Amino acid sequence: MQHLVINFAMIKVNPMSTVHPLYSELVTAMGKETVVELADLAKSDPTWVPALIEASKHDKPKNRNRKAAWVLHHVFLRNPALIESEVSGLLAILDHSDDASVYREILKIIADINLTPKHFELIQAPMLDLGVGMLHDEAWSKGIHYIAMRLVMRFATSTADKSLAIEAIQALLSRTSKDQKPMCNAALKIISKIQKIL
């Protein structure tokens, strides 16, 4: 595979522009190796993470938003400090997008990202509400339901919140057949963790 070689000294990026020279790399056919390479470019290009956030908000061109969100998740996995200051941008993606693939990648970040007390307070209630709503909604995929359980476990802070979280997970369990053991086991494990801190 041809590796990406970008000379950032030769690229002049307007930070206010919605067009980034690396957008052309966000294509449907790109594989994980390319995703990792694109994620690592965030270390040398401070405009790349904001550009990925912007691209994740919009469904045109086709699939660019999904690829941008995938790269963002890998930036977080490999260099979390580059994402930790962008919590407001992550929330903006969720506000603008209705793409399940984008939601999945961004919520994976939010479920694990280090948050300042201020950021935690800012997003605690909306993330709990989002997670609870997703657990009650059969239209979401299993992957989203796994992430939703992690969200409610993290953002349920009061006794009332935790009861709400457990009720939502139990609602998911009631719709899940017993032969779906990974989902059932994950749900029961998270319920047990929440109950221990009630």
pLDDT in tens, the chain (198 residues): 333 433 333 334 444 345 799 999 998 888 999 999 999 999 999 999 999 999 999 988 889 999 999 999 999 999 999 999 999 999 999 999 999 999 999 999 999 999 999 999 989 999 999 999 999 999 999 999 999 999 999 999 999 999 999 999 999 999 998 888 999 999 999 999 999 887
Longest dimension (CA), the chain: 58
DSSP secondary structure letter of residue 197? T
The rounded distance, in Å, linking the Cα atoms of 193 and 12 is 50
Alpha helices in the chain (DSSP H): 32-40, 48-56, 64-78, 81-84, 87-96, 100-112, 117-136, 142-155, 159-174, 181-196
The rounded distance, in Å, linking the Cα atoms of 69 and 153 is 23
Tell me how crowded residue 114 is: count the other CB atoms within 10 A of its CB: 11
